[in-house]
Chains A and B, each alone.
Chain A
Amino acid sequence: MSNIIITDSSLRDGNHSVKHTISLDSIKKYCQAADSAKVPIVEVGHGNGLGASSLLIGKATHTDAEMLSTARANLPNSKLGVHVIPGIATVEKDIKPAIDLGVDVFRIASHCTEATVTKSHIDYLSKTDKEVIGVLMMTALATIDELVDNAKIMADYGAQAIIIMDSTGTYLPDDVKFRIMRLVDALDIPVGFHAHNNLNYAIHNSIIAIQTGATYIDACIRGFGAGAGNAPLEILLPVLDKYGYSVDIDFKKIINEADNVLNYLVPKVPVSAPVNILTGLNKLFSGFEKPIIKASKLNNIEYSSLIFELGNRKLVAGQEDLILEVAQNLNK
């Protein structure tokens, strides 16, 4: 046994790749499969988390309450997790109802340099019996020192673990190694990593993260996630095994489900298409893939020129409105 805790983000990050249309039936089926395979934490919801169904990011087919209650009913053993971004989700409107629906793990996320916006949310949750994890997104946009400072801020507020996300899929293994090493050294709570596969390093980076001391690792079935997708769960498990890390998840069930999901959850297995390579290199949020393609077509411009300009503007996650504005102005 090792102390590695895998969070399956297929039903949350995967929602990005189907414009937030995952059906309740798919949630039910996948939760049953993940639960029976003993996946510790299953994350569910709109791609940008609680309260994020919007014209800005994409309207979800189902409400948070529908998705979470369906998941809860089909996760007798696994913990149910949600992603929460202050600025989008509030304690009153979103967190309290989610607690009532039986969510166990709240992952409170901010842009990598903006940890101080999470104070009221983490404060509130740390007074409940729920697990609260601090998540730093878009971390390729911060220096290592900034990351450490922001992780410490979340830890001070009461986060029980810190996960850094390579939301842009930019990292090479050394980038991950130096960041995780510093974080593990600076914090006395567990550290985690969430990979994206834009440069085909998701598995490699996840392994490096674990080797340098990370214990919370995110993965998705078939890599089902935003843009080029995440670390595929069915690959991560056997690779971990080969490296000598034992994880108490039933690999046979997962490998079997990796085929099944093509029939109900994953319409297209994510690959790193040219657009994803470019967003990765320009440090743009993986979830921008679809809005970028749409805005380029609408305004008759090359998506590569749009990506370069958006990279210059240093957009953070949740700024889909600026994609439209920049595309319109490039068209002029």
Chain B
Amino acid sequence: MIKAGIIGTGNIGTDLLLKLIKTDFIEPVIFAGRRMSSNGIKLAQEKSIPVTDKGIDYFIENCCVADVVYDCTNAIDAKQHAKVFEEQGVKVIDLTPAKIGDLCVPTINPEAIKTRGNVNMITCGGQASTPLLNVISKHCDLEYIEVVSQIASDSAGMATRLNIDNYIHTTERAISEFTGCNNCKVILNLNPAIPQVDMQTTLFIKAENIKFTSLNKDIYKTIKRLKEYIPHYELVMPPTINNDVLVLSIKVKGTGDYLPEYAGNLDIINCAAIEISKNLYE
């Protein structure tokens, strides 16, 4: 079993904890927050998971209790934490937008977690789009990529809203890195409709020499692979070419462990983080 710590006991950290408990290869050994009264800590206690309110200090005092730590705090704190874990030689899967380590996608560069001490889970739009874009890039000459995501307003906390530019820039960087195409654009729409909308991402691609049959086949293959770790990842508009533009659209529902089902955008980051961890086990 991989011994894992979680730092940050908010919505993401708590959902991740419930997901880790369900796996048979990761053992959550510590759930570290700031307040014993937080909902996340209470829930962890109910599940008999060791908890602490000492945050990063717990890890300083108890060096190397975990093989890997999931950082679910925020970009500023994650930078401080990264220094501590680097000194201790503890691997970090960073779920914040801090971008300290390599951008990492389970279907593209899962080995990064073995070779690097710290990997970053990018953004929801990045985890949803780059696996498909990466395979698409192998079947055409890309000229331009556009990724448009809708998320439910209720799933976008103040941190997401404050860092909306950061979301765009980071996702664009990941797309460039994993496709080799520097000409890309990312758009994020918040939709307040009730009942809440699911996360939906549409890809618009301008390319030359599109080998549609092989591309199509590879997209379906990739989606099958993605469903292994993101159970409710679904193609809602199959690849079509209109006026030389390839369009397809996917939807991501969450598994509803702690976060609501509509928050597929938050769920997908946790799913990717766990999938990446498998590489430490194998």
Chain A interfacial positions (CB closer than 8 Å to B): 51, 54-56, 86-88, 90-93, 111, 113-114, 116-117, 119-120, 141, 298, 313-316, 318-319, 321-322, 324-325, 328-329
Contacts and interface: CB of A to CB of B under 8 A. Distances in A.
B236 A318 contact: no
A324 B237 contact: yes
Given A298-B242, A319-B150, A54 B161 contact: no
A314 B240 CA distance: 25
A325 B189 contact: no
Contacts of B188: 87
B191 interface: yes
B206 A55 contact: yes
Contact of A56 (B165, B187, B191, B236): B187
Contact of A111 (B158, B168, B192): B192
A114 B153 CA distance: 8
A113 B187 contact: no
Given A54-B146, A298-B242, A88 B237 contact: no
A54 B164 CA distance: 18
Contacts of B76: none
B73 to A, nearest CB: 20
15 contacts: A54-B146, A55-B144, A55-B204, A56-B148, A90-B168, A90-B169, A92-B169, A111-B190, A314-B192, A316-B192, A318-B187, A319-B189, A319-B191, A321-B249, A325-B200
Contacts of B197: 313
Contact of A92 (B165, B242, B249): B165
A325 B190 contact: no
Contacts of A315: 191
A315 B165 CA distance: 22
B168 A314 contact: no
B190 A117 contact: yes
B29 interface: no
Contact of A91 (B165, B190, B193, B240): B165
A324 B248 CA distance: 10
Contacts of B245: 55
A90 B164 CA distance: 8
B202 interface: yes
A323 to B, nearest CB: 11
B54 interface: no
Given A54-B146, A314-B191, A325-B249, A90 B165 contact: yes
Nearest to B185: A54
Interface in B175-201: 185, 187-193, 197, 200
A100 B185 CA distance: 22
A86 B2 CA distance: 41
Nearest to B172: A93
Q: Size class of B's contact patch?
A: 20 to 34
Given A91-B165, A120-B162, A54 B150 contact: no
B192 A116 contact: no
B90 interface: no
A134 B237 CA distance: 35
B148 A321 contact: yes
Contact of B191 (A51, A91, A120, A316): A316
Interface in B124-169: 144, 146, 148, 150, 153, 156, 158, 161-165, 168-169
A320 to B, nearest CB: 8
Contacts of A54: 146, 148, 185, 187, 204
Given A56-B148, A313-B193, A116 B206 contact: no
Contact of B237 (A113, A313, A316, A325): A325
A322 B162 contact: no
B34 to A, nearest CB: 24
Contacts of B242: 298
Nearest to B163: A120
A315 to B, nearest CB: 7
Which 5 residue pairs spanning A and B have beta carbons closest together?
A321-B202, A314-B193, A55-B204, A90-B165, A87-B188
B247 interface: yes
A309 to B, nearest CB: 13
Nearest to B190: A114
Given A55-B245, A322-B200, A324-B237, A116 B169 contact: no
B192 A113 contact: yes
Contact of B164 (A86, A313, A314, A328): A86
A325 B202 contact: yes
B189 A316 contact: yes
B221 to A, nearest CB: 22
A56 B187 CA distance: 9
A326 B98 CA distance: 36
A120 B188 CA distance: 15
Q: Which of B148, B153, B156 neighbours the largest number of chain A CB atoms within 10 Å of its CB?
A: B148
Contacts of B236: 325, 329
B190 A87 contact: yes
Nearest to B168: A90
Given A86-B165, A116-B158, 11 more contacts: A55-B206, A55-B245, A90-B168, A111-B192, A117-B156, A117-B164, A120-B162, A319-B189, A322-B202, A325-B200, A328-B237
B146 A56 contact: yes
A141 B194 CA distance: 12
Given A55-B204, A316-B190, A325-B249, A120 B165 contact: yes
Contacts of A324: 202, 237, 247, 249
